[in-house]
């Protein structure tokens, strides 16, 4: 294997007068997915701490948000096809004899987040599914 180190022929960012970056709005699907994933992790941490005084292994940053279809007009619109939200990743769902309702916690946290950002999103405007699996036994 050959390792090559090459000097960049550009002005370093910290020395440039202007830096152009992309910022996605709060309603952008990537922002919605990141926000829901973060809220799920926080909710699981709270539940783990409440029950066991420690945070158990989880990795819930995998989330798929598939856009639906909307007929937009001035002042509003109509949802023709609901968005699809798939929660995935891993989370410890059992500790000893105690079962942790990971899917319920995840749904509640994700729905609270998305309804905070999109308050007019109705219950029938999204299809929700959770495929959060249990964590690896080596990490529990």
Tell me whether residue 12 is in a domain: no
Tell me whether residue 67 is in a domain: yes
Tell me whether residue 5 is in a domain: no
Tell me whether residue 15 is in a domain: no
Tell me whether residue 80 is in a domain: yes
List the end-to-end C-alpha distance of the chain, in Å, as a whole number: 37
Please name which of 36, 18, 19 lies closest in space to residue 27, comparing C-alpha atoms.
36
The pTM of the full predicted model, rounded to 2 decimals, is 0.80
Tell me whether residue 45 is in a domain: yes
Q: What is the CATH classification number for the domain harbouring 42?
A: 3.30.300.10
Tell me whether residue 1 is in a domain: no
The total number of structural domains that make up the chain = 1
Domain extent at residue 95: 24-139
User: How would you write the pLDDT of the chain (140 residues) with one tens digit per residue?
Assistant: 899 998 888 888 888 888 888 888 888 899 999 999 999 999 999 999 999 999 999 999 889 999 899 898 898 888 899 999 999 999 999 998 999 999 999 999 999 999 999 998 888 999 999 999 987 666 55
């Amino acid at each position: 294997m050959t390792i090559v180190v090459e000097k960049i022929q550009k002005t370093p960012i910290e020395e440039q007068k202007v830096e152009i970056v992309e910022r996605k709005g709060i309603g952008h699907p990537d922002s919605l997915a990141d926000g829901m994933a973060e809220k799920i992790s926080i909710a699981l941490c709270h539940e783990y701490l409440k029950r066991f005084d420690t945070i158990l292994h989880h990795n819930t940053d995998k989330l798929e948000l598939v856009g639906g279809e909307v007929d937009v007009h001035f002042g509003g619109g109509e949802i023709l096809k609901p968005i699809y939200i798939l929660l995935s990743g891993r989370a410890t769902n059992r500790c000893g004899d105690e079962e942790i309702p990971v899917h319920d916690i995840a749904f509640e946290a994700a729905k609270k987040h998305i309804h905070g950002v999109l308050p007019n999103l109705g219950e029938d405007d999204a299809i929700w599914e959770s495929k959060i699996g249990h964590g690896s036994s080596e990490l529990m």
